[in-house]
Copies of this chain bind each other. A is one copy, B any other.
């Protein structure tokens, strides 16, 4: 050491060299620390966030297939093709309406916390496309430009994609509840307004920056209320205006059983929904750029699965006392109800609470199926119990994990419920007074497939003659 000091004292250039050498050494030593301590760089984070939106969003789109199967297997055969048409139609309308106007109404600069600034055809300017085209020419600059331009840490259109598939989910809920009697064109017009205006307004209150419920602290992670109850309230309004199917509630007070016409297809639909829900809830973490996001997303998927599993078992168990038998259809709806229930807070509840929340959702759903029959509301697939009853429960259950205060959750549930129900009710009334909301009695008896579409779902199969009931 003494020698080193002397060496450095008299050999200043050497001292510089030595300092440089030490610098190199430091650099070398620091290398792993630098790279490993910093976490994903801005661009890596951007890619993670974007890819998560796209992958999970694709699974949410898949839920539309799930609803289609659930519904087309649940209705009587004579209306199954119409349900297929309504579902592929509603997904198409929802996607176009949200593009043309809905997204801006939801996420445009908030006007007083009530609605986003209207705008036409979101993202349709060529700016972002130009950025992509620029890739070849000036990659370095373009990278900075795109990350800057896209600001939020993910590709703008990946978020748009994810939001768009959510709208479709809301719309899907309505078609099942009103199956077998609502007119095709009236239904499509309702869906157009629902996805272009009603749902976006609810979203503008809750998920948009500056929304009044958002400011109040209303908490609904992936949309127990915002997506599912909204669909449920819209469906309930339709049920009231359109009325029950012919013969569903007999003059003598008994209820006609209308079991699913194809239980395999219903079961497939529920499995599709269950899978899609991993995208629905997992993607709602809205980010995957940090270890915390990854941990949260994992917790979300586990809780989602536990909630659904508990919903199934609880619904099966209570179906015997409530419905008189171990009921597969109730069990399948229990999965949906469990999923809806856990959707409001899968990121923050302990796993055992996820089980409880899902189980309560399943019980509420089976009770709700019975209740709807008692009050003579004809909901073909049980959409209101599974999506609205369970959705309200799930939104309130956020309080269990301390994720929100009870009265704010209640304000959210009630204000959204009132808004969606009243606007939907008015709209259904308007449609009923103009186009007519309901098919003619003869079309309903014949079935919408033959009566409205001029086709049959299974034209080569011999079907049981339908027994005319005392309706």
Contacts and interface: CB of A to CB of B under 8 A. Distances in A.
A411 interface: no
Interface stretch (A59-67, A197-205, A376-384): A59-67
Contact of A27 (B30, B132, B261, B460): B30
11 contacts: A12-B12, A35-B39, A47-B291, A54-B282, A55-B55, A58-B301, A68-B268, A92-B312, A93-B309, A99-B351, A161-B301
Nearest to A326: B453
A36 B266 CA distance: 49
Looking at A46, A142, A161, A458, which has the most chain B CB atoms within 10 Å of its CB?
A: A458
B464 A461 contact: yes
Interface stretch (A228-236, A240-248, A271-279, A438-446): A271-279
A226 interface: no
Contacts of A131: 292, 295
A34 B30 CA distance: 10
A469 interface: no
Interface in A255-278: 259-268, 270-272, 274-275, 278
Nearest to A61: B275
B77 A288 contact: no
Contacts of A123: 302, 351
Given A95-B309, A156-B298, A458-B263, A35 B46 contact: no
Contacts of A44: 39-40, 44
A273 B401 CA distance: 37
Given A80-B263, A85-B331, A462-B462, A58 B275 contact: yes
A266 to B, nearest CB: 8
Contacts of A142: 292
A288 B158 CA distance: 13
A51 B288 contact: yes
Given A47-B289, A150-B291, A294-B47, A306 B95 contact: yes
Contacts of A122: 351
Contact of A264 (B124, B265, B453): B265
A392 interface: no
Given A12-B15, A50-B298, A69-B268, A305 B41 contact: no
Consensus secondary structure, chain A interface: helix
Contact of A62 (B40, B265, B271, B292): B271
B20 A31 contact: no
Contacts of A456: 259, 263
A301 B48 CA distance: 16
Interface stretch (A109-117, A342-350, A367-375, A412-420): A342-350
A435 interface: no
Contacts of A297: 50-51, 54, 155, 158
A292 B146 contact: yes
Nearest to A143: B291
Interface string A316-330: 100000000111110
Interface string A1-21: 000110011001101101110
Contacts of A335: 88, 92
A397 interface: no
A315 B320 CA distance: 44
A94 to B, nearest CB: 8
A61 to B, nearest CB: 6
Nearest to A349: B129
Contacts of A455: 259, 263, 327-329
A100 to B, nearest CB: 9
Nearest to A42: B36
Given A146-B292, A291-B147, A161 B305 contact: yes
Task: List the 8 shortest-distance A-B pairs measured between CB atoms, nearest first.
Answer: A35-B38, A65-B271, A158-B298, A92-B309, A50-B294, A155-B298, A157-B298, A84-B267
A262 to B, nearest CB: 6
Contact of A453 (B77, B95, B325): B325
